Amino acid sequence: MNRSWVYILYCSDGTFYTGCTTNIRQRIYQHKEGIFEGYTKKRRPVKLVWYEEFQDIREAIDIERQVKKWSAAKKRALIRGDFKLIHVLAQSREMRQRRKHRKDD
């Protein structure tokens, strides 16, 4: 199996880009230089803010697909390593409101 990475870039417009690669150094260089057309080329400069290595490319692709769907708040929590907040943000809005009301009582 190929080693692979899932990564998050912070773009100059304040957005995040999530990607997957088997060569993290080369791919980040390509993003920074704007070598490929796509999301990050017009949002440079970009900064690598998070990455994780996987031994199986299929697992990395699955994780990339999940993280791409996340809100910016959830991605920020991942970048900070705040797994408790990720769990809270993953809950439904209704569940978060119920939890808040219980704390207020």
Domain layout of the chain by residue ranges: 1-69, 71-105
**92: exposed, middle or buried (Cβ count in 10 Å: 0-12, 13-18, 19+):** exposed
Give the single-character DSSP code of 42: G
Q: Do the Cβ atoms of 6 and 52 come closer than 8 Å?
A: yes
pLDDT at residue 98, rounded to an integer = 77
CATH superfamily membership of 1-69: GIY-YIG endonuclease (3.40.1440.10)
Residue range 4-57, pLDDT digits in tens: 999 999 999 999 999 999 999 999 999 999 999 999 999 999 999 999 999 999
Given a cut of 90, whether residue 68 has pLDDT beyond it is yes
